[in-house]
Amino acid sequence: MLEWIRKVAVERPKVLGTLMILVGAIFVVSMGWWGFSAYKSGKPGIVARINGTPLYATEFSRDYEIMKNNYQRLLNGALGKKILTELNFPGLVLRNMIFRQLWIDEANHLHLIVPDAVVVSEVSRIPFFQEGNPPVFSSKLYTQFLLETHQSAKDFEQSIREDLLVQRAQVLVRAIQTPAAPASPTDEKTAAGLDDWQKKRLALQEETLQSFQMQLENRSNVKIDQEAFKKLSKSLL
C-alpha cells in the first residue's frame, strides 16, 4: 500500500538527516494550525482514495505548497528542487495527507465530535486572523483570507474541525499508555524520579501513537493513482 512511498522517503541516508526527521515525521502536520487549509473548489483529478474518500489533485497541490513553505520558514531557507527530489517531498506530503484522513476516519469511528463553538473559538485564536494590541480576531482579515484562497468559511471551518478531531483522537490514543505517577516530590531525589517518569510517559505515549497509526495503515484501504501522482509531483518539483 504505502511501502513504495516509505521506501523512497526513508531510505536516504546521505540526505540531510535532520531535515529528514523534520519532514519525514509520521505525525499529522495539520494545515489548519498554520492559518491555511486545503481548499475544496474545483477538483479536477483524483490522486488517491483513502478508505473511499477521494484525495483531489487540487487539495494535494495546495497542501504541497503549504507544507513546503512551512518548512522553509522553519528552516529559514529555501528547499531547492534537488533537495525536494532527493527527499521525495511529494511522497512525504501524500503520506501526511493519507495519515490525516486515517485519523479523521478513526475519530469518526470513535464518535468524536467537535462542537461549532469550539471551531469558532479555534479560528478566532489563529494569529493570522488577529490584529491590534492586544491582538483580537478580525473578521476583515478572515474574510480577506477566504477571498484570496478561494474558499468558503464553511469549507475552511470544516478543515479546522477535522484538525481538532485528529487531535482528540491522538490524545485518546496517547492516554492508553500512562504509567502510574510517583509520589509528589518532597526532596531532590523524588523530584528527579518525577522527571524520569514524565520522560518515560512521553516516550511510551509516542510509541503507542506510532504503533496505533501503523495499525490504522495496515487495516486501511488506500488506492493511489501512481501515474496521476507522478505527473502531478513532477509539475510541482
pLDDT digits (tens, 9 = 90+) for 44-84: 699 999 999 999 999 999 889 888 888 887 778 888 888 88
| CATH number of the domain where residue 209 is located | 1.10.4030.10
Question: 0.95 exceeded by the pTM?
Answer: no
Lowest mean pLDDT among 34-43, 62-71, 76-85, 171-180: 34-43
Lowest mean pLDDT among 16-25, 131-140, 199-208: 16-25
Contact 107, 165 (CB under 8 A): yes
Q: Sign of torsion, CA 148 149 154 159?
A: negative
d(CA 194, CA 214): 30
Percent of the chain with pLDDT over 70: 74
Kind and range of the H or E element at 160?
A: helix 153-176
Contact 71, 79 (CB under 8 A): yes
pLDDT of residue 199: 84
Q: How many domains are there within the chain? A: 1
pLDDT of residue 43: 56
Structural domain harbouring 103: 3-236
**93 falls in which pLDDT band (50, 70, 90)?**
very high
